Structure 1
């Protein structure tokens, strides 16, 4: 179509250049033009590499996705999704049908629990929950129709550890897919494919991107056909990742190793400090010798853990409110993985859909907090927590 001056509205391709940009260009185009129908056929059939429509893929998703593929040692290129829960949904909705059965770890992220409890049963997929650190409990939950076992390496928010090696063997013996959410540990600490996982997923929103300005997920399967099914389901349901978010995530991942190591070191110092404070009932951190899953941690993680610390205050909601008010400079927010330390209260956020009794059974009282440790100076951070715990104790 020509405008009133007679020129083509859309110009030709970008100017040619003998050099290339150092920073990946942002490519927000929704559509990509091909020269002929034959060329478009070849792109869809795999004879030519090219983009067609951004819901089906775009350069920024490929650049960010390839980086995670390498980090995880993925057998096939993973799929970037619009959020971590989109990656979970691609697996649970895209690979099951009515009559199937799914087993979940009993301390999954709150929205994953809700999907297991509400959405899958509504679609005719039955679900069960079991302790992923207790292989006998997981075995007892198996049924002939079990299709998937979904676990987190380190659970959100109680930081318990799944017996991944034993679960992989159990799944293989029974023809079941082991799906591992590696968000908390990240491939810096653990690579599930190396321990027998069939599918690995991430909320890239969290520590991988690391700046609280991205909403993304990633999922990849060991089997090529399953990997293709995940990709097709993601495209069909519109779970595609935004170019801008992928572009930001790539930037975040450039500093990921440095951020992970710094945050983990500070998390270790904070966990040790919290154990010394009057008013703190218990502290959970995978790097501490008193962690209840110490043997599994030594076997699986080999010295790297995560940036997450959970602890429980004496008292209830009033003390919790006093603590967050007094935690000067820290964000009380239902997120993790930011460059700054954030405080999360599962009873009012991630696990609010559970009854108080169910939360208590999982070890989450009104005084229970999850801390995502950031890049602050460790001494400064410990002082902030000393003051906040003291304020809670003054109630």
Structure 2
């Protein structure tokens, strides 16, 4: 099986028997508590001799089922479903690190991951630093003797740079450091990081995996069972619990994931090609476009799968950006991604607003810079919406 190719899986998992038949759709099991027959039976359950549930904070059927579904997509047998993508990040960073450790992160992580790196971990005695993940040598040089783990995203937000995962993985292995990959942007349809040397992989299931902007969930898995168990204990202790209803909705979303990914990716490629030829558009960023700075790496690492995310920049600064967003009717202006509908994000006023203008400029984020999460609309109708926005921006 080639990198990025997902194993086939049942679209509908087997549900429990009810009499002589079973439900086609997984039942929602909202119970907070589960009863056992006697103390001996409870002991057997806690000691792992029999399977069962006790209290929903420690796990419940819908969370377990979703965890196994996502794990299969990443080439694992099991994982942990958590209450959000940031709950997954927290389970990794705080479940596995202690005071005196060092965490090295990519310099373009998701905004809240960066905040945790810069503000929360240091106050707990965990040192942090950032490096450019597109330069494996520089990244390796930033690893210290006390480095516990490295945290990267395969494709960065919002400039869509492609990390040298293979090079970073080799450095981590050489120095005995855990490699953690946030695979939210790329998803297992584009790459399975564990096959490229990662030790831990995590997701914001909220995004493209669930795909309908109606759940808030996260997931984390690990090659080493001891690491997974340590993160599970931390998650149970701190209450990073996933809702049964959200898990049920996310399972429904996974049933159409392959179709949604393929359609959105195809439309993103068409939209990027169209935008690149429009007056007033200064650049278009899409990982597999020939003019992308990491195009060669994207073609090899992602097997040509650029995904559903693209970014572009227009002339005219903030006034033009306001005009574009107002005129592109039918496209939600919202700092999210992975929905069935296309969404438009403006990093300078949302995800990266805390940075100085100079800091944003260093990352290549101007007032005319937009990030697009491409959905399932008719491609020509979507292009017409963008053309309306561009026409309005040119008039500013």
Partner of 1:109: 110
Q: Secondary structure at the match of 2:149?
A: strand
**Among 9, 24, 27, the residue aligned to 1:25:** 27
Partner of 1:73: 75
Partner of 1:197: 198
Cα–Cα, structure 1 residues 15 and 266, in superposed 2: closer, same or farther, change >3 Å? closer
Q: Secondary structure at the match of 1:187?
A: coil
Residue 150 of structure 2 corresponds to residue 158 of structure 1: no
- Work out the CA distance in 2 between the residues paired with 1:171 and 1:182: 18
User: What CA deviation, in whole Å up to 9, does each residue of 1:120-148 have, x standing for no partner?
Assistant: 11111111111101012102211111111
Partner of 2:57: 55
Per the TM alignment, residue 321 of structure 1 is displaced from its structure 2 partner at its CA by 0.9
Please tell me whether the aligned partners of residues 279 and 390 of structure 1 are also in contact (alpha carbons under 8 angstroms).
no
Per the TM alignment, residue 389 of structure 1 is displaced from its structure 2 partner at its CA by 1.1
Length, aligned pairs only: 381
Structure 1: segments with no counterpart, 5+ residues: 1-13
Per the TM alignment, residue 287 of structure 1 is displaced from its structure 2 partner at its CA by 2.4
User: What CA deviation, in whole Å up to 9, does each residue of 1:4-34 have, x standing for no partner?
Assistant: xxxxxxxxxx995121111000001101111
The normalised TM-score by structure 1 is 0.95
Per the TM alignment, residue 191 of structure 1 is displaced from its structure 2 partner at its CA by 0.4
Partner of 2:13: none
Structure 2: segments with no counterpart, 5+ residues: 1-15
Partner of 1:249: 250
- Work out the CA distance in 2 between the residues paired with 1:115 and 1:393: 39
Please tell me whether the aligned partners of residues 183 and 207 of structure 1 are also in contact (alpha carbons under 8 angstroms).
yes
- Work out the CA distance in 1 between the residues paired with 2:393 and 2:18: 63
- Work out the CA distance in 1 between the residues paired with 2:34 and 2:388: 56
**Structure 1 residue ranges, 4+ long, deviating more than 2 angstroms after superposition:** none
Partner of 1:10: none
- Work out the CA distance in 1 between the residues paired with 2:352 and 2:194: 29
User: What CA deviation, in whole Å up to 9, does each residue of 1:61-92 have, x standing for no partner?
Assistant: 11111111111102x41100100011011111
Partner of 1:38: 40
User: What CA deviation, in whole Å up to 9, does each residue of 1:339-372 have, x standing for no partner?
Assistant: 0000011111112222221111111111111000
Please tell me whether the aligned partners of residues 94 and 229 of structure 1 are also in contact (alpha carbons under 8 angstroms).
yes
The normalised TM-score by structure 2 is 0.95
Partner of 2:185: 184
